[in-house]
Structure 1
Amino acid sequence: MHCQALPLASTGAFPPLFLDYISQKAQLQPFYGHFPTLANFEKQIALKSSFEARHREVLVEVLERQYSQLSSKPDFSVLNDSKTFVVTTGHQLNIFTGPLYVIYKIITTINLARALQAAYPEYRFVPVYWMATEDHDFEEISYFSLFGKKYTWQTQQKGAVGRMIPRELGEALKILPERVPVFEKAYLQCHNLADAVRCYMNDLFGAEGLVCIDGDDDALKRLFLPVIKDELTSSHAYTLATRTTQQIEDLGYHTQISPREINLFYLEEGLRERIVKEGEAYRVLNTDLVFSEAEILAIAEEHPKRFSPNVVLRPLYQEIILPNLAYIGGPSEVPYWLQLKGIFEHFEVPFPMLLPRNFALYINAANRKRAEKLGVSVEQMFWDDVKLRKTFVEKTSTASLELTDEKKAIEKVFVEILSKALVIDKTLEGAVSAEKTKILNSLDNLEKRLQKAEERNYETEVNQLLGLKAKLFPNGALQERSDNFLNFYLNDSTFFQKLFTHFDPLDFSFNILTEDETEADHEDNLLNELEQKK
């Protein structure tokens, strides 16, 4: 396996706010704390050393309970030690882990914990996966792609996805090209989706020290209760996040999230809906639930689990219940955290270091050979189809497809014509200029026709090129945002280990992972089996 690092900016796949953050542009420094370098973690450890012992105790109690049904589990007692810290990533509960980048997040987080352990041996570092169990956007988690086929979970269940019963996924398991016992066990034996995700993540990464946390818990929410009450009775989060958002937008950036006056959902079985304040009353949207201030505060005191933070407050909730040093996120997540620093300062909670996850394009041996045969580089594969096709034909063709010299000659001729015209009648300048423009436009059109004609001559090679790009960039997007890890894992059981070996959590580059030698033709067999099952 060969690993080539590309600058993220060269891929054209990342927003300016994200790129400027990793470039440490001075104008963004007010919106975060310590930038993620190995040396800066010493400062972050000192900042988080005041994490309350009681919060550690509650965390350990909750984890013991959440893992109670698993036969093997991590040693949570280390989290009671004031010298133990965590590094965290989070994501929705996509079925079968969803797109590749979810796995990339997990491996980046585990590798970061390993790097910190080597650099600061006097402390303990635990990688944590925050499961977005309270999220209710079922459509976003309901499908995954394997070998070009989309699998979708059809259900009538509603509310927080972590509470949904996953046994319906048994039908998807039946039509997979191979049995995947880790998912069969999780989806068919676990009571809800949160338990199922914890189960398979523990089977896949538990041996690497990964701990999964479910925030949908009454004991954890009770630690968050002061913020819940503040959110219901004031607009601090809205005011602070709105102010920061405006400051970032004034710098010319697009922001990711929009704060609300109340950044909480009301959560019950089959229900997660926004809380809004109308006059003196608190209403739960799309329901008949209406409360006075006294009533809703009483419910919060008795049942804090019924209050679910949205994207504005979830990061704060995470940092209140975890002795966390850094959050590992993608190109959309890191920017929205930048909008929230003022909220952390208001509640006197240390702001974590924001660490971009690792990014990768995985090129198997067959696709590597196709690229070599076509003479295209990895960098060129990130280009759009028009530029890729045009450049390929120009490079491959033996004919001259540009009329640059001819255009220069026309320009020279019209300089002479204009000179003669001005001697006769100065008002002819516009007419001469218009004729020149007309002829040059005609040459541009002829140039395009030459290009298209030559593309037809190389139609087979161009189709092969675009077919290769479609394999590496499914649906025109980065591979990691579409393909599932099983695309590679079923064919190569060492897939995870290769990622662990080549991912550097503190190197913010795009990793091109290329197989050096041809693997067994296992993937083709899987595709054939899949076609038969269709």
Structure 2
Amino acid sequence: MEAQALAHLLGLPQGKEALRERLGRRGHPDLVPALTAYLRRLQAPPEAFSALGRLARGAVVAGQQAGLLGGPALTFYKAHTALSLAEEVGAAAVFWVASQDHDVEEVRHLHLLLEDELRTLSLPLPPLPAGRIPLDPYRGVLVGFLGPWARDPRVAYALEGGTLSEFSARILLAFLGQRGLLPFDPMAEELSPLFQGALERELSDPLASAQALNREAERIRALGGKPPLRRKPGATNLFLETDARRLLFYEGGVFSDGVRRYSRKELLEILRTDPSRLTPAAGLRPVFQDLALPTAGFVVGPNEFRYVAELSGVYALHGLPMPALFLRLQAVVLEPPAARLLGRYRLDPWAFVEGGEAAFLGAVRGVLEGFREVEEELARLQRQLEALGERAKALEPTLERPFRRFRARIGGEGERLLGKLLRARLDRDAVLLHHLERLKRHLLPLGLPQERVYPFPMYALRHPEALGLLREAPAQGRAVLALG
């Protein structure tokens, strides 16, 4: 079941009307001064400070893990959707830099397309939340990998960040700050105290949100969906950071992280001295986000849409309305080499992103010598089989279905043989093979859609018009950004 169809069945808020209905809700009373102090420390541009005033109207929020050079381009597409929607209703656009996430394998790689080759930098990051990982040990390696780009004022500014999450926040400010984007790092010293009250409430009834999550998961399963979140018996929705970040369990009035046990009093003392050490799990994070921010709209990707759909009970538990949900923009950036190849073969970029090699083979069929003849012979064989089936049906009507299945099998085998023939011919044609591999590097690097691999600043650093094209793109749906 598609995420949006499930959301409709669950009655979750979607669309601009729902967004407007949720404007005007107040966030944390200390939000503006805390966020102002954070932006001052980051030396944010004037447009970001001007956007603070729009928080009184409400916020459209997006978020993503803290990544090198901003992470994959989808980070910028989420931010663009939030900015576009916020501008339309007079609200602020906020980007939640997920600094509490400790899955460093997802953020330690930086992939760039340099001189038409895919190059990768992989940093040996420690298994800590991104907000705890200092940038200093890796700054020199990053500068060397980025080469001349490291001297660009926007990148140089971002490289002054103290942590990986601050590097990400500065990238957002450097490239999107002039549009008024407000980065929000929940582990920042100025912002983490905003969650103290919510964490205290969660500790007072530590299983309630997990149980609400499980109840909603059962409802989704009954409707035919596949809920991605579920809590085991005794599991809370809170992580505790000690030498590692571990999920807390609760039984008999005592908490445990699997290594040692804690009383509620001990956890409250940890919370008092360093509120950033207690952090919400996925089943609670959006709710904490909206306890601090006056969120009216929430921009998500398809996978996030599925887990946010489970959280209506957790929102109700904390006395919050769910925000209006919006799927982010999907985009393909076309640099001139890829655009020329797609034009040569009359191939749609989205067809290649979704079909890869099969789409390319389909587009070049007419180019390959001798292929059309084989294709026509197979089509003639299909027509002969169809005629034979009609004759058999006239002799014995019960043979119609067996002949139809027979023709379908022959047709499927024929298509597979054609694919093998195309691939074999392609392997012997160095030019076509080169074109296919070049398109893969541009549009399907590492076998993934471009937006999940390359950072958008890579395009902005190479093409001055890239940010302008993004700004002109629709808030949602699909876009092709043709550069150069």
TM-score range with shorter-chain normalisation?
A: 0.7 to 0.9
Q: What do the CA deviations read for 1:65-84 (whole angstroms, capped 9, x no partner)?
A: 32343444557597578843
Computing the radius of gyration from Cα coordinates, the structure with the larger value is 1
Q: What do the CA deviations read for 1:168-212 (whole angstroms, capped 9, x no partner)?
A: 22212113242324333433x333333333333322222221212
In structure 2, which of residues 125, 129, 134 is the aligned counterpart of residue 165 of structure 1?
Answer: 134
Give the superposed CA RMSD. Answer: 3.4
AA in 1 matched with 2:335: N
Q: Assess, with a 3 A threshold, how the Cα gap between structure 1 residues 220 and 479 changes in structure 2: closer, same or farther.
A: same
Q: What do the CA deviations read for 1:356-380 (whole angstroms, capped 9, x no partner)?
A: 1111011122222212212323353
Q: Distance in 2 between matches of 1:453 and 1:81?
A: 60
In structure 1, which of residues 32, 36, 39 is the aligned counterpart of residue 15 of structure 2?
Answer: 36
Query: Map of 1:435-450 to 2, 5 A cutoff?
Result: 448-449=416-417
In structure 2, which of residues 9, 13, 33 is the aligned counterpart of residue 61 of structure 1?
Answer: 33
Does 2:78 correspond to 1:93? Answer: no
Q: Distance in 2 between matches of 1:258 and 1:277?
A: 16
Query: Map of 1:98-117 to 2, 5 A cutoff?
Result: 98-117=71-90
2:236 alignment counterpart? 262
2:3 alignment counterpart? 18
> SS of the residue aligned with 1:114?
helix
Post-superposition shift, 1:317? 0.8
1:509 alignment counterpart? 477
1:494 alignment counterpart? 465
Does 2:312 correspond to 1:312? Answer: no
Number of residue-to-residue matches in the alignment: 463
Q: Assess, with a 3 A threshold, how the Cα gap between structure 1 residues 493 and 467 changes in structure 2: closer, same or farther.
A: same
Post-superposition shift, 1:130? 1.1
Unaligned runs of 5+ in 1: 1-15, 118-124, 423-428, 520-534
Does 2:107 correspond to 1:150? Answer: no
Query: Map of 1:198-237 to 2, 5 A cutoff?
Result: 198-216=169-187, 217-230=191-204, 233-237=205-209
> SS of the residue aligned with 2:220?
helix
Q: Distance in 1 between matches of 2:453 and 2:170?
A: 23
AA in 2 matched with 1:492: H
My pick for the range that moved more, 218-227 or 84-93, is 218-227
Post-superposition shift, 1:28? 3.5
My pick for the range that moved more, 380-389 or 369-378, is 380-389
AA in 2 matched with 1:406: L
1:369 alignment counterpart? 340
TM-score (norm 2): 0.84
Post-superposition shift, 1:455? 5.3
Q: What do the CA deviations read for 1:271-300 (whole angstroms, capped 9, x no partner)?
A: 322212254432123x4x322344435544
Q: What do the CA deviations read for 1:253-274 (whole angstroms, capped 9, x no partner)?
A: 3333333530101135x53222
1:133 alignment counterpart? 99
- Is the contact made by 1:371 and 1:468 (CA closer than 8 Å) also made in structure 2? no
Query: Map of 1:290-305 to 2, 5 A cutoff?
Result: 290-297=261-268, 299-300=270-271, 304-305=275-276
1:338 alignment counterpart? 309
Post-superposition shift, 1:385? 4.4
1:3 alignment counterpart? none
Post-superposition shift, 1:99? 0.7
AA in 1 matched with 2:218: Q
- Is the contact made by 1:394 and 1:401 (CA closer than 8 Å) also made in structure 2? no
Post-superposition shift, 1:462? 4.6
- Is the contact made by 2:158 and 2:168 (CA closer than 8 Å) also made in structure 1? yes
Does 2:167 correspond to 1:196? Answer: yes
Post-superposition shift, 1:348? 1.1
2:214 alignment counterpart? 242
In structure 1, which of residues 287, 297, 322 is the aligned counterpart of residue 293 of structure 2?
Answer: 322
Q: Assess, with a 3 A threshold, how the Cα gap between structure 1 residues 380 and 355 changes in structure 2: closer, same or farther.
A: closer
Q: Assess, with a 3 A threshold, how the Cα gap between structure 1 residues 305 and 83 changes in structure 2: closer, same or farther.
A: closer
- Is the contact made by 1:266 and 1:275 (CA closer than 8 Å) also made in structure 2? yes
- Is the contact made by 1:229 and 1:300 (CA closer than 8 Å) also made in structure 2? no
Q: Distance in 1 between matches of 2:280 and 2:298?
A: 17
> SS of the residue aligned with 1:87?
strand
1:176 alignment counterpart? 146
- Is the contact made by 2:69 and 2:171 (CA closer than 8 Å) also made in structure 1? no
1:27 alignment counterpart? 9
- Is the contact made by 2:51 and 2:180 (CA closer than 8 Å) also made in structure 1? no
Q: Assess, with a 3 A threshold, how the Cα gap between structure 1 residues 144 and 405 changes in structure 2: closer, same or farther.
A: same
> SS of the residue aligned with 1:130?
strand
Percent of residue pairs identical: 20
Q: Distance in 1 between matches of 2:79 and 2:246?
A: 29
